[in-house]
Structure 1
Amino acid sequence: MSSILTNSSAMVALQTLKNINSNLAKTQSEISTGKQISSAKDNSAVWAISKVMEADVNGFTAISDSLSLGESTLAVARQASETVTDLLTQMKGKIVAAQEENVDRGKLQTDITALRDQISSVVGAAQFNGLNMVSGTDDVNILSSLDRSADGTVTAANITVARQDLGTAQGTFGSGSSLAANGTASAAAVANTANTAIVTVGNTWAADDTATLTVAGVEVSFTAAGAAVADIGDGLAGMINGLGLEGITATGNSDGTLTVSSTRGFEDVDIAVGEATAGDGDVLITTLNGTGSLTATSGSIDERAENVAFSTSASVNEGDSYKVTVGTSSYDYIAGKGETMEDVARGLKIAIDSAGDSDITTRVVQDTDTGQWSLKVDNDGASAAFAVSGNADGVASGGLFGLDSIDVTTDVGATSGLDNIETMINVAIDAAADFGSAAGRVETQNSFIGKLTDSLKAGIGSLVDADMEAASARLQALQVQQQLGTQALSIANQAPQNILALFR
């Protein structure tokens, strides 16, 4: 049946042509925009994923800028630390030269002062965009990543870089909880009195019997002339004194004993006795003024110095403040971040040495068996009170604390300066090494972020970018389909015209 009201063929042809035109418009959009999915209506799920990834790409681009800024800041800090290390090394050369008395120490001190001022200048200028990594103790966080969890939560990750304070500030003693238990003084006073060993010469000595005495590794021998034991003690004493051993003297006593005395501040003195012949006489060490080991024939005279022994278990926190009192003077050191009891001991040593007291000398030592660090203090003057105390919550001393006080114009200053400059050089070396390590990590992270950003961009492209080869082929096919659809619609629209022939 034919109808002039309903043309089914034309409706089918029209719908087909509409679909072709729609597909053609979509293909043309892909070609013009380069995207297969350019809006949420194209594919809402994929479009949403791509937008999240695009947001991450923008974030990582900003992170890359942050890492580049961090690299530059650390490069300045590392260069400053290395420069300070070189200047301190030059200063050490001047201090070594000052150990010789036959030099112009005044001119050497002038050079040391100039180097010290240059170090202060370097530390003050070592900033990038207002951030100085060699001043202060607060950590610096460099934004390094955005971490997205499975539930969509995003958190920022940081690379934390510790500042390395190369300042010379004294610090501020804390008023917090007591830390007195972390340090123990070996005595209530430090004095200049000698420690001694008593050697007893007893029984009967025949002529030509020989007694030997070894002091600080040097052996002396005395041959008896007869039975008077006092002669033995006097003879050994004279021979020991004739050796000229530093800090060691001997005295023969009328009761047949021999007193060996040592004023060596930081060295135990080994002592041993013997007999070269098997007579009836005896030579025995009967008393030590100290805590050295003792047998009948050997022992050791303790060093004269007293010490502050620091805890092997207590931790050291930033601001922990320790004070050593010698006589009426007190010497403070306030620990910085990441320091140990070794740093506390060395800081207190520098504080004491900086006072320039010619009677007081110091050493820092570690017990090889227990690992315990101790500060030793020797006094060549009048007896002085000796104590240690501590409190938390202070303001840390600078890493080069004591640099301003190095003075090689005196023997004591030259000696202590040589020891203390080593501590400061190690501080500067550690700072440069830490900055170098952190810079390497930041550089590696920046490189990774760049590669990650490229991967994310590639992933977004694979989701939303159009396949241009396929789109080109599809465009050609759809253009042909459009022409055919138009022709088919034209033919379908001519069908009602055929009905007119029935009425002619």
Structure 2
Amino acid sequence: MTSIRTNSAAMVALRTLETTNKALEDTQKRISTGYRVAEAADNAAYWSIATVMKSDKAALSTVQDALGLGTAKIDVTYTAINSAIDVVDSIKSKLVAAREPGVDKEKIQDEIKQLQEQLVGIAESASFSGENWLNVNSANAGYSSTEEIVSSFNRTGSAVTVDTIDIDISTLALMDGNPAVGADGLLEKTTTSGTGATAVTFSILTLDITAANVTDATIDDMIDFVHSAFTDLTNGASDLGAMKSRLSMQTDFVATLIDAMTRGISALIDADMSEESTRLQALQTQQQLGVQSLSIANASAQNILALFQG
């Protein structure tokens, strides 16, 4: 039935055109934002999952920064200990030279004194971001013999935890400002050579081959003591090297994990631009056809008018 009051064809064409325009608007939104789920209204479940994953990814990025900071601290300490090892080795060589008959021990002691001052300088300058693991004061209220480096961020359901890597610095300190007996750094620990009135007490930083009562036997004890300190320093450097390697592996793992999370988020909410481009072209064609169909449907009333013209 043809009616001049109700144009059914135009109504259908208009509804189809509105649907096409809505789909075209959604497609253009995806193309302009790059997201197929830009807000909760697009897909509440995917949006919620992606939002949580983005938050976890940001937390992991902070963990990555913390690992970088921890690695830098270890690098500074490791470099300083290696330098201290070289200096202590030089002191041992000077002591060995002092055992030779007829040598000028005063000159050798001058050289040893310069090396001792170099050790102090190394310990005092091994600082990064306000922290120094080689020159400490265990009497301070905030002192801790264990340093923590944030290593990972974990989520189990709604519960989150932060894991740390612990570093024992109690065996690394070269100097300790704590006046308590026995609270000494590696360079401050003392030993005694000889007994009675001829006993000589010394540390790496205070040994003096020109002091009173120092004999060849005393120098031999000094050599043995310095070698023991050399071994302790080497062990400390070895521990730091192992920890440095572990932090490097953890940093690589966190970076890989961040990449994996980025891919997961992308799979949930990112738009497939190739697909959206194809859909855009199809919808534009449908829109043009819808406009033509609506025009044809609206023109049908004019055809009815022609029937009454004679």
Q: 1:470 aligns with which of 261, 264, 275?
A: 275
Greater relative contact order, per chain length (Cα 8 Å cut-off, separation 6+): 2
Report the secondary structure of 2:69's partner residue: helix
Following TM superposition, by how much is the alpha carbon of 1:76 offset from its aligned partner in structure 2, in angstroms? 1.1
Q: 2:174 aligns with which of 166, 171, 180?
A: 166
Distance 1:133 1:335, change over 3 A: closer
AA paired with 2:192? D
- 2:133 maps to which residue? 133
TM-score, normalising length from structure 1?
A: 0.54
Match of 1:42 in 2: 42
Which residue in the other structure is 1:54 paired with?
A: 54
1:50 to 1:406, Cα distance in 2 relative to 1, 3 A = same
Aligned partner of residue 103 in structure 2, secondary structure = coil
C-alpha contact (below 8 Å) 1:354/1:406 kept by paired residues? no
Which residue matches 1:495?
A: 300
Q: Provide the residue aligned with 1:279 in structure 2.
A: none
Q: 1:78 — aligned with what?
A: 78
CA distance in 1, matches of 2:28, 2:295: 25
Q: Distance in 1 between matches of 2:183 and 2:276?
A: 73
Partner of 1:249: none
Question: Does 2:233 match 1:421?
Answer: no
TM-score of the aligned structures, taking structure 2 as reference length? 0.85
Q: How far apart, in 2, do the equivalents of 1:108 and 1:64 lie?
A: 49
Q: Compute the displacement of 1:58 (Å).
A: 2.2
- Determine the structure 2 residue equivalent to 1:252: none
Structure number having the greater helix percentage: 2
More strand by share: 1
Runs of 4+ in 1 over 6 A off after TM superposition: none
Deviations 1:161-184 (A, max 9, x none): 2221011657514xxxxxxxxxxx
- Residue 452 (structure 1) shift: 1.9
SS in structure 1 opposite 2:205?
helix
Corresponding residue number in structure 1 for 2:139: none
The residue aligned with 1:153 is 159
Report the counterpart of residue 288 of structure 2 in structure 1: 483
Alignment pair present for 1:64 and 2:64: yes
- The residue identity in structure 2 corresponding to 1:56 is D
Q: Cα deviations across residues 318-358 of structure 1 (Å, max 9, x unaligned)? A: xxxxxxxxxxxxxxx3588xxxxxx9xxx9xx645079855
Aligned length: 295
Aligned-pair identity in percent equals 37
- The reply to whether residue 437 of structure 1 matches residue 238 of structure 2 is no
Corresponding residue SS for 2:148: strand
Query: CA 1:29/1:5 → structure 2, altered by over 3 Å: closer, same or farther?
Result: same
Structure 1: distance between partners of 2:178 and 2:93: 25
TM superposition shift of 1:95: 1.6
Question: 2:194–2:218: 8 Å Cα contact kept in structure 1?
Answer: no
Aligned partner (choices 157, 178, 203) of residue 402 of structure 1: 203
Q: Over aligned residues, Cα RMSD in angstroms?
A: 2.7
- 1:111 alignment counterpart: 111
The higher radius of gyration belongs to 1
